[in-house]
Amino acid sequence: MNKRVPAQDFINRELSLLAFNERVLAQAEDAALPLLERLRFLCIASSNLDEFFEVRVAGLKAQMRLNPSRADVDGLPAVKTLTRVAERAHVLVARQYALLNDILLPLLGQEGIDLKLATNWNEEVGAWARTYFQQEILPVLTPIGLDPAHPFPRVLNKSLNFAVELGGHDAFGRKSGVAIVQAPRALPRLIRLPDRLSDQPYGIVMLTTIMQAYVSELFAGMEVHGCHPFRVTRNSDLFVDDEEITNLRVALQGELPQRHYGDAVRLEIADTCSDAMAQLLQREFALDEEDVYRVAGPVNLVRLMQMPDMIARPDLKFVPFHPALPAEIRKANINGADLFRTIGKRDILVHHPYQSFLPVLDFLYAAATDPDVVAIKQTIYRTGSDSALMESLLLAARTGKEVTVVVELMARFDEETNINWASRLEEVGAHVVYGVVGHKTHAKMVLVVRREHAKDGTVALRRYAHLGTGNYHSGTARAYTDFGLFTADEDLCSDVHEVFQQLTGLGSAKKMKCIWQSPFSMHGNTVAAIRNEAQIAASGKPGRIMARMNSLLEPAVIQELYAASNAGVKIDLIIRGVCALRPGVKGLSENITVRSIVGRFLEHSRIFYFRNGGADDVYLSSADWMDRNFFRRVEVAFPVREPKLKKRVIDEGLRVHLKDNALAWVMNSEGVYHRKRPGKARFSGQQFLLEEATKI
């Protein structure tokens, strides 16, 4: 066993995650990108920060209450991590609003897109806004005046609210001084000005602006001294006691409504808010000063995500592209050949979004409608509320096929959608299970069992599988990079069958033929593969590891990578988000590089390459190298065996991004990222793959 690595050789998880968000924000700051895409990246950064507070900061605050002295692997206790997080998050938020106010809004104005953040309206616009308020907004508002009979209302997580400072007395002689107005979620946050009223091609007003202008109409006869928008972010983790529940779906349905009212972790208020009101809100939500974020603009930047879709300016957006079809699938469609026969001849690799997600939908639809298919099994983690894939499963069940679906009910923020799909599937007779309590089912797998007729008249069952690195979600397949493999390889299909047996039945885990599986063999096999490279390098032969994932956190794997580096193994890591490993440290990680690719598409594939003496072992996976993926989830890493497909994964998934000097950020030993400077020889891996896909 390698010597234990000291805490200072690990980078803090939360600070690393904030560093990723800083890289996303840098996309919004990049003047080379189309203007509306820059705005979109600003909104993505804000959305990421929301989830960071809902999950990571909420977890740190809970840890402070339960076990304040406990330190993470990097040696920092929660209290110190929270302090550093707050310092960095405040700087990040200030950057966001400076970018919006000083750069993006003026540039949008130059392009005829006027987002009116203040009431500098002419008489006609003011009259329209007042009529809009009276007809569309006022009837659905319920102002709450604070007094002993009206305590502070429950405020939904991330909802838009207004704290109104009042003077005078109401009809009952009451003098409260404060009222809370909640903006119903049904109200649009962005409203398009009628063309006749706008001096620009696109005039857009925020709900906040109209509310602040006419809120006094809610309080007749009283003086409005201030109307201050605010937003509270709450702990959004669900608590389900694994040992106490008897029905996971029922337990979750009981917990979901409470998600909106978890403990407050952040308060966002307009920077014009009075100190007295800010202190009142801070006390109400039991927050510290560092948890309060005064912002110079809308308290919810995510709402601006709607703007690019409201504006018909393709010149200010990324050039649209049409994903290609794999040659084998395209030929099968042209020739009318049977899809299963095509897959039966050879494995087919699909690289999204450069290649279409349509073959996955076709595969499920073919399985649902083919009379020779007798059974379909699938895992569902995230699929969306409107899913053609799920409709195929419903169709298959209605027509009498044996349909088994493992629905992960604990997929964060998708619980309600997955519960709804589970109910619909059960209604048509599908077998629906929820995996293993305490272990999220994160593996992406479909298994189809088909009755096939040979020329000699015999009949046999044959299995077909689809395995992927990403979710079965048509929407994210257009924006996330992922690999998928269609195969009839008997070893792979046998292993997939065994995983489904574990998820739906009972029994001990059998040894897999070729798949690495969490929580049983993936960690051990990963460690063994790294050690094998170290042994090869120690013998004087080339040792080589290339790995790509979203996050690298698991201490034992990091420890093995350090040891392999010291043995002479050349290691290149492409880590999109969180990385706790320190690269380039003399005597520790001199042979390790870490880079992050942030671009038009979200890099989501997990790829593990080990040279293994020239065998070039390649695995694709749904799993990051994190504790949860190794030990608390059902995950698979599956080999790519066919040499041509293996080369494609290495070239398209690894080498092209190691060559990238346009979207790549390189991490130093302190955890600081520096963007590559392309010079004259600019090379974007994502753009290269897009151009290659259009040639097919």
The C-alpha atoms of residue 474 and residue 105 are separated, in whole angstroms, by 32
d(CA 575, CA 577): 6
Number of Cα atoms under 13 Å in the Cβ half of residue 34: 14
Provide the residue type at 676 as one letter.
K
Helix (H, G, I), strand (E, B) or coil at 685: helix
Count Cβ neighbours within 10 Å for each residue of 450-483 and write b for 16 or more, e otherwise.
Answer: beeeeeeeeeeeebbbbbbbbbbbbebbeebbbb
Closest alpha carbon to 178 in 167, 190, 191, 187: 167
Decide: 206 and 115 in contact? Cβ < 8 Å: yes
User: DSSP letter string over 92-123?
Assistant: HHHHHHHHIIIIIHHHHHHTTEEEE-S----H
- Decide if 496 contacts 445 (C-beta within 8 A): yes
Q: Tokens 């009042």 — which residue?
A: 166
What gap in Å lies between CA 564 and CA 544, rounded to an integer? Answer: 9
How far is it, in rounded angstroms, from Cα 85 to Cα 81? 6
| Close Cβ partners of 22 (under 8 Å, ≥ 6 residues apart) | 92, 673
The tokens of 73 are what?
A: 């692997």
Reported as type and span, the H/E element at residue 451 is strand 444-453
686 neighbors 314 (Cβ within 8 angstroms): no
First to last CA, the chain: 49
What's the token pair of residue 449? Answer: 């069992």
Question: What is the SS3 assignment for 663?
Answer: coil
Give the closest residue to 600 by CA, choosing from 662, 648, 549, 681.
662
282 alpha carbon, distance to own chain's centre: 30
Tokens representing residue 129 in the block: 């806004």
Peptide bond into 519 cis (omega under 30): yes
Known catalytic residue: 442?
yes
Distance of CA 359 to the CA centre of its chain: 23
Beta strands 617-621 and 633-639 are antiparallel
Q: Which two tokens stand for residue 333?
A: 């469609």
Among 442, 473, 523, 604, the active-site one is 442
Smallest Cα–Cα separation from 606: which of 496, 444, 415?
Answer: 444
Total count of residues recorded for the chain: 696
Going from the C-alpha of 399 to that of each of 368, 388, 406, 646, the distances in angstroms are: 8, 17, 20, 38
**Two tokens at 279?**
């202190």
The Cα 54–Cα 58 span in angstroms is 6
* E-state strands within 344-435: 348-352, 373-380, 402-407, 431-433
Active site residues: 442
